[in-house]
Structure 1
Amino acid sequence: MEPLVETLIEDARWQSVGLGALAERAARAVMEDQALPDAGFAISLLGCADVRIADLNADFRGKPQPTNVLSWPSDERGAEADGGAPDRPRPGPADMPEELGDIAIAWETCIREAEEQGKPVEEHVTHLLVHGVLHLLGYDHVRDGDAALMEGAEIRILVKMGFKNPYE
């Protein structure tokens, strides 16, 4: 089975939590929940430090501070109507999978948030990865209806994976 997520570890501390394996599991859980095949799609993930994600956040969002996770969908898949289902991507052939987009995740911010929330790091990181993959699939949380749809998907996926509701 081909990997769904290509993980680039830029900050070696990510090795300690097995970022690649967490990302693969999270992405496959999202695809299953969305009734999409995990074959025929590809996601790129960067495991970095706060300083790198702050640069990315400044470049792409005009916010020069670290954040936990950033996503860059390959296509605009968001629904026109608030709370509507995003457009579904079509898988590519095995030798040229459809690129869903890129995700970056920052070590220090994730560790700090997990500690503040009293959660295991792997659980918090998995939640952020599920969140990031849903963004690649067109989910968003700017409008209220979209946020409710996205949070519902996150909760459903994480509970199925054996984690608690992250919003409780």
Structure 2
Amino acid sequence: MIEIEVEAEAWTGALPETEAVVTKAAEAALGAVAGDVVVLLTDDEAVRELNARFRDKDRPTNVLSFPAPESAAPHLGDIVLAYGVCASEAQAQGKTLSDHLSHLVVHGVLHLLGRDHEDDAEAEEMEAEEREILAELGVSDPYAADSTDSGQDA
């Protein structure tokens, strides 16, 4: 089950189909894995507070992932996205908000499934998996047009 909580109305104001985009991306990233995911769509300040509290980084970021302990199964974890950061990145990278949101949800779900990008080999593997999932969704390669760091902290 994918549970979506919209805390910042800017998400649905800018992208009325926000919940459908999130659901489709999360389901695609989960594939055959059974489990529950909560996606919180909020603002930059809420994400800044979480980033400071849990990662000692006092700044907003696009997406954060909080994997659940194995004892919480079938809950896999929570993903939190900041509207302002995501919308600004999409605009700066020449992407639609829908495509960027799809990418970040896929990225966050992959973290909940244990994928990471701590070193170059892991990053290449995770990015390849993201590209494959996004292609199935009809979303262009998010890394092709932008060779800079995306700033994802998930």
TM-score (norm. length: structure 2)? 0.86
Query: Where does residue 126 of structure 1 map in the other structure?
Result: 102
Q: What aligned pairs does 1:24-103 form with structure 2 within 5 A after superposition?
A: 24-32=23-31, 36-37=32-33, 40-75=34-69, 98-103=74-79
User: Percent identity at matched positions?
Assistant: 41
User: What TM-score, normalized to structure 1?
Assistant: 0.79
- The answer to whether the Cα contact below 8 Å between 1:5 and 1:20 also exists between their aligned partners in 2 is no
- Which one of the candidate residues 99, 107, 111 is aligned to 1:135? 111
Task: Give distance in 2, aligned partners of 1:162 and 1:7.
Answer: 22
Show structure 1 runs of 4+ deviating over 6 A.
none
Contact kept? 1:48, 1:106, Cα under 8 Å: yes
Larger radius of gyration: 1
Mapped partners of 1:31, 1:70: distance in 2: 17
Mapped pair 1:107 → 2:83: yes
User: The residue matched to 2:122 in structure 1 has which SS?
Assistant: helix
Equivalent residue, structure 1, for 2:152: none
Residue type of the alignment partner of 2:114: G
Task: Return the alpha-carbon distance in structure 1 between the equivalents of residues 20 and 137 of structure 2.
Answer: 14
Report which stretch shifted further, 141-150 or 116-125.
141-150
Aligned length: 141
Structure 1, unmatched stretches of 5+, are: 77-95
User: Which one-letter code corresponds to 2:91 in the other structure?
Assistant: E
The answer to whether 1:21 aligns with 2:15 is: no
The aligned residue for residue 141 of structure 2 is: 165
Distance 2:10 2:55 in 1: 26
SS in 2 for 1:166: coil
Please tell me the root mean square deviation across aligned C-alpha atoms, in Å. Answer: 1.6
In structure 2, runs of 5+ residues without a counterpart are 145-154
